[in-house]
Amino acid sequence: MPEKHGKILVIDDDEDILLAARLFLKQHFELVHTEKSPDKIPSLLHNENYDVILLDMNFARDMTSGKEGLFWLNKVLEIDPSAVVILITAYGDVEMAVKAIKAGATEFILKPWQNEKLLATISAAINLRQSRTEVDHLRRRQLQLSADLDQPFKDFIGTSPAMLHVFSIIEKVARTEANVLILGENGTGKELVARELHRQSLRANEVFITVDMGAITNTLFESELFGHTKGAFTDAKEDRAGRFEIASGGTLFLDEIGNLPLPLQAKLLTVLQNREVTRLGSNKPCPIDIRLICATNRPIYEMVEKKEFRQDLLYRINTVEISLPPLRERQEDMSLLVDHFLQSYCKKYRVPQKRVNPATIKKLQKYHWPGNVRELQHAIERAIIMTDATVLNPTDIFLPDREIKEQGIIFENYNLEEAEKMLIRKAIAKYGGNISKAAGELGLTRTSLYRRMEKYGL
């Protein structure tokens, strides 16, 4: 026998109706409460969380108008705005049904009812209640996360002039709807800037959706970003919303946009111009409302000159531009960053708080940090894990590619793609083909490194 689920409350002044409802519904649901007096609704809702409430439209004091039922419907929704209420009445008044639905009722049924129809209606209502509960839970989680992070530039630290300039731009542009393009090397904190723009924006209570453009294959681009209908292609088993639809109302962050091939740039531009998407397999456009933030570590203006990136798309995405300085150009922030990561990882790994020797800071400041702040973060985390001492000395900080800096790399030419290709080869060779470690050293995700390897035939 299947397990029973669902808590039902039935309110009707006809005891025969209550008895019939209780005898039938208790066969199918976990809990069935019946009540003759609507005056007890507040206390009932205070003591139990019902999935579905069946509420009579007409009580003894108001036999036919339905006004008392609407009064109690409003009272229920005042107590629990996510309540699912099915109104029941012996009078098939269409106008009253419309009023009830507009007032917040989920369904309207006539009595005497058919048991099969009543069961189907309540089962559908329980599913609706579960969906509302899940959405409410997710919304509360997001609000709590926003509150926890509600400290300006919590993980985005710096007092150097370059960083103060970045903070100033963020504060000016965050509450506008301007599209923002973030430029900077890998590991400089481009996603942190995007999240800070969202956190300070008027859309802060809505979703923040991230898309790694370098990780989406050409064949899946439209499906991932614009969605698809069931049967649009072989593996499309059901309708699916794309990232643009999911982000509607909130912020969409397109990371590594410089990696997008020209044909896909044209499709993206069309969506941004029309402010609507059409799912694969459909002809029906869906309007979207997004705040767009993009980022890239590539020389996008040089790419425009070489016809590798559309100029009209660049104009569309960079109403405001934020350039992040590499860590080697903000060495005065080193102590702040190190202290921040020390506190964070000592807490994470539950070890006594550690500090650094001044000589350690000097060593860190001399290093060129090709992976920028992300590489520093990993270096401090590694030191916390591997070092028992409470003070981190220079020898406790392992910098895996310092030999490259000291010995130097000789390039046959200064073509950026050839240089990138050679660095990828060296990183993979250094770690014996371990892609995860090579990607970490290069400041890339595994997916992004695989794409570059495919591009260069490595």
Per-residue model confidence (pLDDT) at position 134: 76
Mean per-residue pLDDT, 36-47 = 89
Structural contact between residues 354 and 384, judged by C-beta atoms closer than 8 angstroms: yes
pLDDT of 66 over the 80 cut: no
CA angle at 40 for the pair 35 and 46, rounded to the nearest 5°:
110
Per-residue model confidence (pLDDT) at position 406: 40
How far apart CA 69 and CA 59 sit, in angstroms, is: 7
How far apart CA 370 and CA 432 sit, in angstroms, is: 20
Q: What is the pLDDT of residues 161-170, one digit of tens each?
A: 999 999 999 9
Which of 282-286, 306-310, 364-368, 407-411 tops mean pLDDT? 306-310
What does pTM read for this prediction?
0.59
pLDDT of 150 over the 50 cut: no
pLDDT of 154 over the 80 cut: no
Mean per-residue pLDDT, 248-275 = 94
pLDDT of 230 over the 90 cut: no
Which has more pLDDT, 28 or 409? Answer: 28
What number of CA atoms fall less than 13 Å from residue 125's CA on the CB side? 27
pLDDT of 86 over the 60 cut: yes
- Indicate the residue type of 166: V
Surface-to-core class of residue 189, CB atoms within 10 Å of its CB (0-12 exposed, 13-18 middle, 19+ buried): buried
How far apart CA 48 and CA 58 sit, in angstroms, is: 24
Helix, strand, coil percent values for the chain (each to nearest 5): 50, 15, 35
Per-residue model confidence (pLDDT) at position 141: 61
Structural contact between residues 185 and 372, judged by C-beta atoms closer than 8 angstroms: yes
pLDDT of 236 over the 90 cut: no
Name which of 299, 332, 342, 328 is nearest 187 in CA terms. Answer: 328
pLDDT of 151 over the 70 cut: no
Per-residue model confidence (pLDDT) at position 412: 52
Per-residue model confidence (pLDDT) at position 400: 66
Structural contact between residues 212 and 191, judged by C-beta atoms closer than 8 angstroms: no
pLDDT of 293 over the 70 cut: yes
Which has more pLDDT, 152 or 67? Answer: 67
Per-residue model confidence (pLDDT) at position 283: 87
Per-residue model confidence (pLDDT) at position 247: 93
pLDDT of 240 over the 80 cut: yes
Per-residue model confidence (pLDDT) at position 178: 96
Name the pLDDT band for 142 (thresholds 50, 70, 90): low
Name the pLDDT band for 404 (thresholds 50, 70, 90): very low
Name which of 458, 156, 189 is nearest 337 in CA terms. Answer: 156
What proportion of the chain, given as a percentage, has pLDDT over 70?
88
pLDDT of 113 over the 60 cut: yes
Name the pLDDT band for 288 (thresholds 50, 70, 90): very high
pLDDT of 309 over the 90 cut: yes
Mean per-residue pLDDT, 218-239 = 85
Per-residue model confidence (pLDDT) at position 148: 47
Q: Which domains does the chain have, with CATH numbers?
A: 7-137 (3.40.50.2300), 161-323 (3.40.50.300), 328-399 (1.10.8.60), 402-458 (1.10.10.60)
Point out the least confidently predicted range of 115-129, 209-223, 331-345, 409-423: 409-423
Regarding beta strands 391-392 and 291-296, do their DSSP bridges make them parallel or antiparallel, or are they unpaired? unpaired
pLDDT of 409 over the 60 cut: no
Residue 350, sorted as left (phi over 0), alpha (psi -120 to 50) or beta, turns out to be: left
Beta-strand runs (E) in 184-270 = 208-212, 227-228, 240-241, 251-255
